[in-house]
Structure 1
Amino acid sequence: MTPADLSRTVLHAVHRAVAENALRAPVPARVRVERTRPGGSGDYACAVALQLAGDAGLPALEVARILRERVAAEPGIGRVEITGPGFLSFTLDAPGDSDRAVLDAVREQGSAYGHGGALRDEVLRFHHAREVRAAVTADAVRRLVVSQGARVRISCEEAGEMGAAGEAEWGLLGVTVDAYGTPPVTSPADPSAPLIPVRPVPAGATARELLERLGPDAARWGLLRPASHDRAPLGDELLVQGEGNPLFLVRYAYARTRVLTRGAAALGFTPATDAAPYESSARPLLDLLADHPRALLAAARHRAPDRVARQLEAVAHAFFDFHDSCPPLPSGDEKPSAAHRSRLALAEAAGTVLAGGLSLLGISAPAHL
């Protein structure tokens, strides 16, 4: 990573913090980074937090903390420290170290890769109407914010469809509700936890109709993939077994990663993150995996499960591009090589991310399709 790359990385973090409402300040045209002076910490230093503190109305140390959270996991960044009144100090990875660190983190954390504690101080109360899309959206939002450490309670305005057989049907869609009726706007037990309405465009169908026609996985994807302010297309295209169906693409990509693991085991080799450097065609997939924790945090902060769906689609597309240009399994009489071991590690990491993301949407990831 060059100083220019690092400057763009920090500037991107500022843009993201402003977009996520974590920081309210004008975004500078550029961010200056300098070589650390003798006796200082890290390879490079930056004073952007001090520059933004006045407009943001926050202490420079708090601005630095907000930016560090968004820079620390960037490829090429080994460590980010806050020094003095709010300087950011960066230690860069050696080439290839950041890729190995990402893949090792995916392997170690499994389907919880990308989960974190950024929202651990938040107590959230969501409330939705007696309508299936609102219920499924609230459930997915719950999963997202809990994955980032928040505590959550969900209420529905009335039992309605939740009663009798309807309750079982909503349960088949993975929905749970903590209470019925409309609670007070502010909780007496916690005045800092206001009631947050969940109001997507209604589905125009009942849970029973969707379950009978689509099944639970396709129904949830159809309800969650569009942004909540858009109508949810819930036609038979959700059941098409082809790459034009994003749900099939994502699940097929996951299933393909499992095939690769089984194939490698049959050939007697295992994945290794440090076996060989990655080809340039692997870069889009590596970058998406590195960005996955930030994507989940942004989706949780914006209460937007559709962002997770789009992230998974991007990972699936990048996986197939990588798979086609850099096959993880040898062909013909070719012997397994270090490159195959590295490629297999990347493929397995992609599968882990796809399965974990589908789980947050309440959708299964079958190993066979």
Structure 2
Amino acid sequence: MTPADLSRTVLHAVRRAVDEDALRAPVPTRVRVERTRPGGSGDYACAVALQLAGPAALPALEVARILRERVAAEPGVGRVEITGPGFLSFTLDAPAVGDRAVLDAVREQGLAYGHGDALRDEILQFHHAREVRAAVTAQAVRRLVAAQGARVRVSCDAASDPDWARLGVTVDAHGTPPVPLTEVRPVPAGATAGELLERLGPDAARWGLLRPAGHDRAALGPELLVQGEANPLFRVRYAHARTRALTRGAALLGFTADPAPHAEPAAPRGSRPEHAPGAEPAPYSEVLYDGAARPLLDLLADHPGVLLAAARHRAPDRVARQMEAVAHAFFDFHDSCPPLPAGDEKPSAAHRARLALAEAAGTVLAGGLSLLGIRAPEHL
């Protein structure tokens, strides 16, 4: 069960409680579920009971008890506790189940992993000045909200700069439209699209414009072109290219990814492992993914929530920061749990599972960059 799945499960429990007249309160449009902070109880926590206590005219602890019994019976939820003044804390079933669900979802949905229909009922009109950062930001926001099901148009104060097209910008109308609109007004870039394209090229220019929050000034210097770890854009794209190289390397060695194989017992180097007679192989969760994989798995599980939050807050910088975090966690995982065998080592179940995680990371990186309008090369 992913965090998005858990959020929907809690929301379904609220609807059930209202339908059964156990709770008299308006059903919220969404329920926010967050990872438990250090020292807390369970895997995730939710404050929905405190949110509903006032409208329901009940103590938050009572609302929490009503919801707990309805959530606890759902598949994938191992335990539900009530903590503090009425927080719900959730412990999910064996992590392997949730991990495999995440990897399966990434594999099945591809670059669209994390897209949804939470904004399907919204018709939006974004408007921006004739300025390159505003234009690029509006285009990125358009991609984000459209990926969550919204219908959206973008207008500009005046005729578009012809160079905007080279940055992937399209504008539906010019002049101020006579309808309610949302202004997109980041701090101006201080340069034209043509100047940025000449100095940086389209990908680095878009990253430089989108990576800072809209209220911060964009850093648009030559550091965006440095091919080294100090450049976040290079690190993100290199992480993606490395995941693709792992897939090619595995193919040359004759194996493919498997998100949930059975683990094989240790065998002498160079020999083919065999299971002991009558023994069942250990489940992969006990052997294949150690602590180095957990941060990466958690980031992949959180990805749909990050995309939805970025769309709701009109904040493409959140996607950029998510890509940086995924890249960092991928390299840590890669260095600690190599997906490819070394030397005369034979490919094992562990390698197939690690490769599945690496490929999922690459897919998420490519999908996130795509939403920002940035290419994810196979080779760097």
TM-score (norm: length of structure 2): 0.74
CA RMSD of the aligned region, Å?
Answer: 3.4
Deviation at 1:79, TM superposition (A): 11
Residues 1:265 and 1:138: Cα distance change in structure 2 (over 3 Å): same
Give unmatched runs, 5+ long, in structure 1: 11-20, 35-45, 81-87, 188-193
SS of alignment partner, residue 212 of structure 1: helix
Deviations 1:339-359 (A, max 9, x none): 000000000000000000000
Structure 1 runs (4+) deviating above 2 angstroms are 21-24, 46-52, 54-60, 76-80, 88-95
Deviations 1:43-96 (A, max 9, x none): xxx996455324368999xx99xx99xx99xxx64899xxxxxxx997943341
Q: How does 1:157-172 map to 2 (within 5 A)?
A: 157-159=157-159, 162=160, 166-167=161-162, 169-172=163-166
Residue 354 (structure 1) aligned with residue 365 (structure 2): yes
SS of alignment partner, residue 153 of structure 2: strand
Residues 1:115 and 1:238: Cα distance change in structure 2 (over 3 Å): same
Matched with 2:300 is: 289
Matched with 1:101 is: 101
SS of alignment partner, residue 190 of structure 2: coil
Deviations 1:140-186 (A, max 9, x none): 00000011111101000001xx2xxx42x2111000000000112xx
Query: Could you tell me which amino acid in structure 2 is paired with residue 294 of structure 1?
Result: G
CA contact (8 A) 2:46 2:89 kept: no
**Aligned equivalents of 2:115, 2:56: Cα separation in 1:** 29
Q: Which moved more, 1:284-293 or 1:271-280?
A: 271-280
**Aligned equivalents of 1:301, 1:127: Cα separation in 2:** 16
**Aligned equivalents of 1:329, 1:241: Cα separation in 2:** 25
Query: Could you tell me which amino acid in structure 2 is paired with residue 206 of structure 1?
Result: T
Question: Match for 2:197 among 208, 211, 226?
Answer: 211
Aligned residues: 306
Residue 152 (structure 1) aligned with residue 138 (structure 2): no
Residue 126 (structure 1) aligned with residue 120 (structure 2): no
TM-score (norm: length of structure 1): 0.76
Matched with 1:247 is: 233
Q: How does 1:322-333 map to 2 (within 5 A)?
A: 322-333=333-344
Residues 1:272 and 1:145: Cα distance change in structure 2 (over 3 Å): same
CA contact (8 A) 2:241 2:378 kept: yes
SS of alignment partner, residue 285 of structure 1: helix
Residue 183 (structure 1) aligned with residue 177 (structure 2): yes
CA contact (8 A) 1:78 1:98 kept: no
Matched with 1:235 is: 221
**Aligned equivalents of 2:256, 2:327: Cα separation in 1:** 22
Identity value in percent: 77
